[in-house]
Structure 1
Amino acid sequence: MWLLILLVNFVIMAAGTYWYLFGRPSPFTLESVRPPGPYEMDQKKRDKVLKQGFTKEKIPDNLDAIVIGSGIGGMTAAATMAKVGKRVLVLEQHDVAGGCCHTFTKQGFEFDAGLHYIGQLHENSLFKVAMDQITEGQLEFVEIDKHFDNLMIGAGEERRDYSIYTGKTEMEQHLKKQFPEDVKAVEEFFKIMKIAARRTPLLAILKLIPKWLALFLIKSGIIYLCSSIFRLSSTSATEINYRLTSNKDLHLIFCYIFYGVPPKDSSCVINALLLHHYKRGAYYPKGGASEIPFHITKVIQKYGGNVLVRAPVNRILVDEKGATYGVTVRKGGEDVEVRAPVVISNCGIYTTFQKLLPPEIQAKPEIQNRVTIKPGKAAFLLFSGFDATSEELGITSTNLWLFKSNDMDAMMEEFYSMEKDEAPENIPMMEITFPSAKDPTSQIRHPGKTSMTILTMVSYEWFEEWKDTTVRKRGDDYFTYKMRFANYLFDWACKHLPKLREKLVYQEAASPLTSMHYLGSTRGAIYSADHNLERFCAETLAKNRCDTPVKNLYISGQDVFSCGIIGAMHGGLLSASTVLNQIIYIDLFLLKKKLKREKANEMARLCKLKVQ
């Protein structure tokens, strides 16, 4: 009798587990992907999609969810839910959808707000499969030059140049040629890259399994027996660098893609993943970064949802039982109430927990515990337009990374400790990128024009005195101060690309306050919460989840897992998994395997035809 009861319970548990993992409709199907349509050149038609202003009449009926913020994380969550029949409304405070993926045009020059290039888009990669699904195959990418990054360390006769190439084996081999005395160190670093790439899904699993189970596995030490990724994630990049080699130029190459955190305080896994991200190619959206929100918006609308801009959410509504039931949007001097059983916030943990929730909810200890991670460093961007083609300026799609020295830790520590007036003329590093040189449609849309973006990291405190002023009305002192940064960055760029100066016709600088205004980023931190070691220790990863102490309120975007386009997109996928109570990554992996199998069968068929 007891044996029969145990057998019945086992069958019920097995059936329940199978249903949970595989028994529900998948949001991802081969049939939803179709060949890309013609590129939409008509700006008015594009604006109808990307700049649809908020009104009460445009709110869809019977909403299933509201997403606050139209960054890639929020849009991914919305599109994924839409594809299982959910009606989702995305609300964006800016006048154009896309977050860091939006573009803006000034005096005939088009600039990216945050996207510079993307990796892991090779055929049938998980990221490519996911991107094809949420755009239904309408988004096209162009692979840029294999020499995708160039590093310049030092100045004058002491300057050293290093080139970074894409390629499954070429990236490693090319580095070995440049560092013949450190071949072993390069090999060991690429082993770490492989571990990071293959085992990082285990870090994400900590956010999908029940929290009590995740914490039990961590505190018992079981997870550390499962994989080395859990110890690596809380090991600093500097520690790993010194284990491998004493060559500080190579140290810099192992962590040159900066995001505001010095290597001594950053996870070696994140730095390894950032370089691995481009191993199989670096890509750029054909038609510019705005193509991403343009096509995702259409998918959301296809299933009855919408994406509305000029819709600043000023409050998340919470009932007496502690559950959210909607938001209010400040419009025309009044608060417009929008209701839905689920709210997903893609505007960052600080804005969500410290500004949008009612004060009595903010004060709860469980809410305060969610904002223990400090905000990241702020960004400063310089947008420049040139009346010349890329060929005339002597530039390519290769990005340039300039560093004053090879000691990232010392450079960043010294820079961030500077007084406000000292900082503008002592910037230690920057990235230069040319979006118009990466996009083959650029010369069709903006003939004879070239755009350039320079990015560096700064301290928010240097600009804080103007935080209560309004955009474009911050005063002469502010303009003079931010242009000191801009002029220094541009002069440094001209030392390497002297043709820039004579062809410059437009320039605009974006300080941390600019990012706060247009992107809604806390303290101008475009990568959101600080990506330090504490954030990537196993326990913090397990606790920093998509669900929140407020019932039916969820978090998406860069604060869920990691920074950048792909990090934010995974934040959206994790959020959709949590809301739907369905591990949609299983659907993605199964679809990826099916596509690979079809590709293999097609190759076999072609080989058979050739033999015949």
Structure 2
Amino acid sequence: MGLRSRGLPTTALELDQEKRTKLLKKALGGFCCVSLVCYVGLWIRSLTLIMKLLRFLVSGSLACAGGTHWYLFLKPSLFSLESLWPTEPLEVDQKKRNKVPKKGFSREKIPENLDAIVIGSGLGGLTTAACMAKKGKRVLVLEQHDTTGGCCHTFTEKGFEFDVDIQTHAQMMKPGKACVLLFCGFDGTAKELDITPTTLWLFKENDIDKSMDKLFAITFPSAKDPASKIRHPGKSCMTVLTMVNYEWFEEWKDSTVRKRGDDYTEYKNRFADHLFNWACEHFPKIKDKVVYQEIATPLSNEHYLRAFRGPRTLASTP
């Protein structure tokens, strides 16, 4: 009744409803088509990405496999026999031997276009530098001391050659503890002096933990090195070690190396006399054959190796 009062016939209302239904169907159909197109597009894009990823993985795997095969089977190893330098005759001339490990530093000697600079010429630094050099890299090795080798280097004084590796073993037994090293040179062969090629570790107590601070060690580097008879005939050398406190030498820590004063020299020589007399108790034939003697303190190591409070190998003597 209300519809009639507005003047709208029944047939017009039915036609209007039918149009709206058709429009709704068209809209739903269009929405479905658009959704289908978007879904197909996304699926194709995802498939493309998957194919690219698979292609990348396959190519990467092939490259890795090819590189591994080349590295293992085609590329000569840095540690193969082919990469070793040919054996050369033993050089006994000390001046010629020093040409390589004792090259002094100057700015003019620094090469251009370096690939790496290695600080420290210990075994780790030398090995790293050698491997990089074998790979064709330009490497510079810098060392504060006047010779290379770090804790495994040797030094020659008055015709006697000494090594300093004994304290490396001591630091394994008592880490962080400072020590004193006595270096002695003798006129006489190992047989004449009745010395042995073994390192003698001596403790004053049966309690190992307590005696770590009081251990003594004696070693004869010349008796261990077969080439010593050729390079230093008729001579022998000895190194004696004992543990000390850094505080005993601390009053001279700010003094200049090799210019620490007579009181310092007298003080450290007291250790030298004590260690030498103690070594003579075990090897009495060395007492009258000594021609060279020097002692290194924790300050030596602190200067040459920059080891805080001298807990590492003592390289030389200030």
TM-based fold match above 0.5: yes
Q: 1:468 to 1:16 in 2, by over 3 A?
A: farther
2:171 is the counterpart of 1:259: yes
Paired residues for 1:387-402 under 5 Å: 387-402=187-202
Distance 1:527 1:116 in 2: 8
Report the RMSD for the aligned CA atoms in angstroms: 2.9
| Structure 2 residue matching 1:105: 3-state secondary structure | strand
Aligned to 2:145: 94
CA-CA distance at 1:399 after TM superposition: 1.4
TM-score normalised by length of structure 1? 0.39
CA-CA distance at 1:458 after TM superposition: 2.5
2:188 is the counterpart of 1:115: no
Q: 1:505 to 1:31 in 2, by over 3 A?
A: same
Q: Which amino acid aligns with 2:153?
A: H
Aligned to 2:41: none
Distance 1:258 1:400 in 2: 12
Q: Which amino acid aligns with 1:488?
A: H
Distance 2:157 2:85 in 1: 34
Provide the identity percentage.
Answer: 60
Q: Which amino acid aligns with 1:31?
A: E
CA-CA distance at 1:493 after TM superposition: 1.5
Distance 2:166 2:68 in 1: 36
CA deviations over 1:491-549 (Å, ceiling 9, x no partner): 22211111121212211000011122233333212269xxxxxxxxxxxxxxxxxxxxx
Kindly tell me the number of residue pairs found equivalent between the two proteins. Answer: 263
Match of 2:237 among 420, 438, 451: 451
Aligned to 1:322: none
CA deviations over 1:201-228 (Å, ceiling 9, x no partner): xxxxxxxxxxxxxxxxxxxxxxxxxxxx
Q: Which amino acid aligns with 2:154?
A: T
CA deviations over 1:394-441 (Å, ceiling 9, x no partner): 1121111111123222223xx4xxxxxxxxxxxx21221111111222
Q: Which runs of 5+ in 1 are unaligned?
A: 119-256, 267-375, 416-427, 529-612
CA deviations over 1:32-52 (Å, ceiling 9, x no partner): 124411011223322222222
Distance 2:206 2:66 in 1: 54
Q: Which runs of at least 4 in structure 1 moved beyond 6 Å after TM superposition?
A: 2-6, 19-22
TM-score normalised by length of structure 2? 0.73
CA-CA distance at 1:106 after TM superposition: 1.9
Cα pair 1:28 1:83 within 8 Å, conserved = no
Aligned to 1:569: none
Q: Which runs of 5+ in 2 are unaligned?
A: 1-46
Paired residues for 1:106-185 under 5 Å: 106-112=157-163, 114-115=164-165
Q: 1:46 to 1:392 in 2, by over 3 A?
A: same
Distance 1:498 1:109 in 2: 20
Q: 1:407 to 1:6 in 2, by over 3 A?
A: farther
Q: Which amino acid aligns with 1:115?
A: D
Q: Which has the higher contact order (CA 8 A, sep 6+)?
A: 1
CA deviations over 1:134-193 (Å, ceiling 9, x no partner): xxxxxxxxxxxxxxxxxxxxxxxxxxxxxxxxxxxxxxxxxxxxxxxxxxxxxxxxxxxx
CA-CA distance at 1:99 after TM superposition: 2.3
Match of 1:81 among 127, 132, 135: 132
| Structure 2 residue matching 1:480: 3-state secondary structure | helix
Q: Which amino acid aligns with 2:138?
A: R
| Structure 2 residue matching 1:522: 3-state secondary structure | coil
Q: 1:17 to 1:473 in 2, by over 3 A?
A: same
Match of 2:177 among 377, 392, 400: 377
CA deviations over 1:5-64 (Å, ceiling 9, x no partner): 776565456456657866656533331124411011223322222222222332122110
Cα pair 1:261 1:377 within 8 Å, conserved = no
Distance 1:95 1:378 in 2: 22
Distance 2:170 2:165 in 1: 14
Cα pair 1:27 1:81 within 8 Å, conserved = no
Q: Which amino acid aligns with 2:141?
A: V
| Structure 1 residue matching 2:192: 3-state secondary structure | helix
Q: Which amino acid aligns with 2:249?
A: F
2:248 is the counterpart of 1:466: no
